[in-house]
Structure 1
Amino acid sequence: MSAVANESRKRSKKRYGGGQPNKRWKGSFLEVGMEGILITCNMNERKCTAEAFNLLNEYADKLYGPEKFEDDNESSSQEEDAEEEDVTEALKKEVAQLKSSGAKRKRRFQAFESGANNVIFIRTLNLESDKLVHHILSDLHSTKKKKSRVILRMLPVTGTCKAFQEDIVKYLGTYLEPWFKTPNCATYQIAFKARNSSHNKRDEIIKSVAGLVGKLNPKNKVDLTNPELTIIVEVIRAVCCISVVKDYTLYRKYNVQEVVKEDTPKPDVTTAKTETDTAEEKEKRDTEEKDKEEKKGKEENTNDKNVAQDNKEGDEGEVDRE
């Protein structure tokens, strides 16, 4: 190969990445063991992330107070010891301090790639994501104040495991105990969704989870209309995200766009039935009165005819006698 061709090939590799893997998202994907919040959006993940941080920090400040950072600068107690300290040991201590300061600087909210389009994952630290999300939706539902434009749903993730059916059932066997194991019981439904994953079938997962809940306590009953609890199972690639939430139906499946809309009043079945019955009764009465009037008219006509006939016969009799 000529030097010119070789140089051109090098430039091409350098321009298009040189065959090296993309390191942009290395270490920033959703993984087993994380807790946080899954947030779905409508085609604008960057804006969704910004809105999510604003919304979560607003309500987290109310529930937990402002985010606090520990002081990373530690002063030495004795300057003399520092002066006499070996240079190598000083460097080691500085590296250790930098590492520890990096751990301290972890934020309570941090964005990660979920592995699916239009879905972001916000990892949470030192707070309960299910309580935070429920508090946000409760406030939005009561105030009807819209606070986001691109965020659709906010689903808390309080447990994660590998996204295989046997792993999911095994993990849920312990995870679901606080809500469904005797003496605890509740009406429930299962909300399952899989993204970028083809090895889990919806019906099989739901059947397995329902069977598990039934074993924890036979008094647990399925209610698809207004359940007390909803078991959320969200599979994204190789990770299964799990949580148990309240008011899933009331808060429109945890959709922040829908929950701020005014509730449309349902028609009162009793009132509607009464109004219908009243109309029918009125029509019946009108019909009966009309029939009575017609009958009365016929009777009057018959009587008039009889009177006329009697009068006629009387007149004829008088003529004959004359």
Structure 2
Amino acid sequence: MSAGQNDSRKRSKKRYAAGHNKRWKGSRELEVGMQGILITCNMNERKCTAEAFNLLNEYADKLYGPEKLQDNTEGSSEEEEAEEEDVDDALKKEVAQLQASGAKQQRRFQALDSGANNVIFIRTQNLESDKLVHHILSDLHTTKKKKSRVILRMLPVTGTCKAFQEDMVKYLTTFLEPWFKTPNCATYQIAFKARNSSHNKRDEIIKSIAGLVGKLNPKNKVDLTNPELTIIVEVIKAVCCISVLKDYTLYRKYNVQEVVKEDAPKPDGAAIKTDTNMADQTKTNNAGEDDKEGKKDEGGEDKNVAEDKQEVDNGDGGGE
């Protein structure tokens, strides 16, 4: 084989490999029409993915039984052999592999690129992600047994649509009916979060969804303290992930780190009274301080409150 033919073949292989990698990546991204689980973490997505698979498979085995795996070892060896073949033969073999894999049952959990940092998306097949995650959090809340280190929140995604306001409202009109359409009704809140997307205004989205829920049944009422249901709206780039969750407040906003912590004991009345008396006495003793120092103290308190609110918003990832 001449040097020119050899160079031409190498260039063809590079183009084939580039196209193959592009197609593979595209099939591993969050898209409209998928269902699954959004999982947030803190700077360690690889370990988060491993923990997620372990946790999900542990509880899925209990609910649905062990997964029946397909033998896919042949595929990897065929891909290695493709490097030694001509481009045309390699393309034909890839088409045949895609057709064959299409007939096979997909894995029940598949990690995809979510489109945002510190967020992974686990696509689910042949199971209800909201029931599975609720079962996990219920068990963790009861046993208080910590089973992960880097996973923060697990949010089921039972519906997806385009991340534009008109598309969301149109999709939610039908999606929300099982929970909120007459004769069904419930108290609710809306938790909205947008990542890598700036074309949607939070207040407008929440207002439009609340109006839609009111039209489905006027008896549906907003409750920001302890709602029966929480409407989750998570926007990542051009995809809007939606779900309706129970026990959102009880299970610490579906945070697997917080749900295993013991509930803080409620202070008794005597302790509250003693603390109040001590505060009043301190206030009296400090009454002689000048007004300038008092203003400095007030300013510091307001700043702390603002920081606390910001911290809550960052932890919640949304709002009502």
Q: TM-score, normalised by structure 1?
A: 0.69
Structure 2 partner of 1:182:
182
Structure 2 partner of 1:237:
237
Structure 2 partner of 1:299:
none
How far the C-alpha of 1:274 sits from its partner, in A, is 8.3
Distance 1:101 1:24, change over 3 A: closer
Q: Contact conserved, 1:251 with 1:259, CA < 8 A, in 2? A: yes
SS of 2:26 mapped into structure 1: coil
How far the C-alpha of 1:266 sits from its partner, in A, is 2.1
Q: Which stretches in structure 2 are left out of the alignment for 5+ residues?
A: 1-6, 73-91, 277-320
CA deviation digits over 1:38-62, x for unaligned, max 9?
0001101111111100000000000
Kindly indicate whether residue 205 of structure 2 is the aligned counterpart of residue 205 of structure 1: yes
The alignment of Structure 1 onto Structure 2 pairs a total of residues equal to 245
Kindly indicate whether residue 45 of structure 2 is the aligned counterpart of residue 57 of structure 1: no
Q: Distance in 1 between matches of 2:98 and 2:48?
A: 32
Q: Distance in 2 between matches of 1:271 and 1:131?
A: 43
Which structure has the greater CA radius of gyration?
1
Letter in 1 for 2:48: C
Q: Contact conserved, 1:160 with 1:242, CA < 8 A, in 2? A: yes
SS of 1:139 mapped into structure 2: helix
Q: Contact conserved, 1:187 with 1:229, CA < 8 A, in 2? A: yes
CA deviation digits over 1:57-112, x for unaligned, max 9?
0000000000124789xxxxxxxxxxxxxxxxxxx9xx879734554241000000
How far the C-alpha of 1:265 sits from its partner, in A, is 1.5
CA deviation digits over 1:178-220, x for unaligned, max 9?
0000110000000000000000111111111011101111111
Structure 2 partner of 1:303:
none
Matches within 5 A, 1:288-299: none
Runs of 4+ in 1 over 3 A off after TM superposition: 20-24, 69-72, 95-98, 100-103, 270-277
What fraction of aligned residue pairs are identical, expressed as a percent?
Answer: 84
Q: Distance in 2 between matches of 1:273 and 1:36?
A: 46
Q: Which stretches in structure 1 are left out of the alignment for 5+ residues?
A: 1-6, 73-91, 278-322
Letter in 1 for 2:163: A
Q: TM-score, normalised by structure 2?
A: 0.69
Q: Distance in 2 between matches of 1:47 and 1:137?
A: 20
Structure 1 partner of 2:115:
115
Distance 1:204 1:141, change over 3 A: same
RMSD: 3.2
Matches within 5 A, 1:116-265: 116-265=116-265
SS of 1:205 mapped into structure 2: helix
